Amino acid sequence: MAGVEEAASSGSHLNGDLDPDDREEGAASTAEEAAKKKRRKKKKSKGVATDGDGDGDGATGKKKKKKKKKRGPKVQTDPPSVPICDLYPNGVFPKGQECEYPPTQDGRTAAWRTTSEEKKALDQASEEIWNDFREAAEAHRQVRKYVMSWIKPGMTMIEICEKLEDCSRKLIKENGLNAGLAFPTGCSLNNCAAHYTPNAGDTTVLQYDDICKIDFGTHISGRIIDCAFTVTFNPKYDTLLKAVKDATNTGIKCAGIDVRLCDVGEAIQEVMESYEVEIDGKTYQVKPIRNLNGHSIGPYRIHAGKTVPIVKGGEATRMEEGEVYAIETFGSTGKGVVHDDMECSHYMKNFDVGHVPIRLPRTKHLLNVINENFGTLAFCRRWLDRLGESKYLMALKNLCDLGIVDPYPPLCDIKGSYTAQFEHTILLRPTCKEVVSRGDDY
């Protein structure tokens, strides 16, 4: 409007110096010029109106494309809540620690694998599989870092597990059987080495003098990361943790294509038993728990058939190219043997079970729930509660009795003993060995 007012004012000033006829012509000319300016102004304002940012073209009235602001990559929140897939929008996830395979028994190096075009092509052909493992591993790393920032004495074990699992579900972007938790959070205490997670109503509280094994898994498309660490608050356990961590790293170092599983176990035992620990004035030799093992991992199958012993004398079966393993070791100040103890919380559908006729409706219903939500992945009672299931214990027992579901009760050494665990998942890729779950922490 300012432009129109300016033209009218200018016209009235000129009219004062003209005769009446000229005034009429001048007035008509000025009016016509003012009308033209007005039309141009309208076009200009129309052009502006077409673009919310004022980028319209006044001369043509054409729309200009709104420039999209480039968004930077998302960053993780505190506490973590952004799914790993959103942090890496290109879909390529961080690799773990890549290692050369150990030399063969005749002393030949495995360095040729890293440069072989054939092995590179085989590696690339499985890149989608490795990438799924890496996504699950990155979720595991971020969750465990978060857990270490808040876990402390005085928390209930249920509180610890649920807080960990809530975060894990967000970061893995839980989606039915396509992505989620691979098995229940183990938080075994002291002489209990494995397979303890609290059931509803468990009031156990974490104490300053406890030694707690945190063992949890994540998966993408059934590609499982099985990784564990030990949490302590009292420094008297430091040497025990060091012994077990060293033994696990020894197992990882020895593992490789064509390596015999028994040789890995022998190396682990030698390192583990080289440590002595003093706890409360008593000295113990650290013992590997001989009836606990590492294991091969398959799609939707946490124990895929091969076991990696942590003592000498195991199977002479060899590791093979393309396999995935959980290398885990357990050290104890007790007898070095575990037995079933306490109330069962872990369960898993038998991977090889065929069709078994079921008569009871409640048992049929529970099996459908298990198939839909867990498939052949391990689960716990808390997860059934979370799905709204109730009064399912008899149906669960029926499934166990029929051999459709296997129970996995807590595994404990003698009372008064202390146990520790460290574990990583490794990929035996054609070109190299990748410790896919490795992090800055361990």
The chain-wide mean pLDDT, for the chain, equals 90
195 is in an annotated binding site: yes
| For residues 107-133, average pLDDT | 95
Q: Which two tokens stand for residue 405?
A: 């579901």
Q: What is the pLDDT of residue 12?
A: 38
Map tokens 């397979």 to a residue.
195
Going from N- to C-terminal start, the domains of the chain cover: 114-340+413-435, 344-408
423 is in an annotated binding site: yes
Q: Tell me the per-residue pLDDT of 304-313, one tens digit each, with 9 for 90 and over.
A: 999 999 999 9
Catalytic residues: 215, 226, 295, 303, 328, 423
More confident: 156 or 33: 156
| Cα–Cα distances in angstroms (integers) from residue 158 to residues 191, 202, 380, 382, in the given order | 19, 7, 12, 9
Measured distance CA(387)–CA(165) in Å, rounded: 14
**60 pLDDT higher than 90:** no
Beta carbons within 8 Å of 155's beta carbon, 6+ residues apart: 205, 206
Measured distance CA(70)–CA(88) in Å, rounded: 16
More confident: 15 or 290: 290
**285 pLDDT higher than 60:** yes
Domain 344-408 has CATH 3.40.50.720: no
What CATH class is the domain 114-340+413-435? alpha beta
Q: What is the pLDDT of residue 23?
A: 46
Q: What is the pLDDT of residue 108?
A: 84
- 7-11, 87-91, 322-326, 333-337: range with lowest mean pLDDT: 7-11
Q: At what angle do helices 117-125 and 127-150 cross, to 10 degrees?
A: 70
| For residues 8-31, average pLDDT | 44
* DSSP bridge partners of 229: 214
**56 pLDDT higher than 70:** no
Beta carbons within 8 Å of 367's beta carbon, 6+ residues apart: 358, 399, 404
295 is in an annotated binding site: yes
The CA angle 352-402-223, to the nearest 5 degrees, is 30
Band (pLDDT 50/70/90 cuts) for residue 16 is very low
| Cα–Cα distances in angstroms (integers) from residue 240 to residues 151, 260, 275, 280, 284, in the given order | 20, 27, 8, 13, 10
- 50-59, 164-173, 198-207: range with lowest mean pLDDT: 50-59
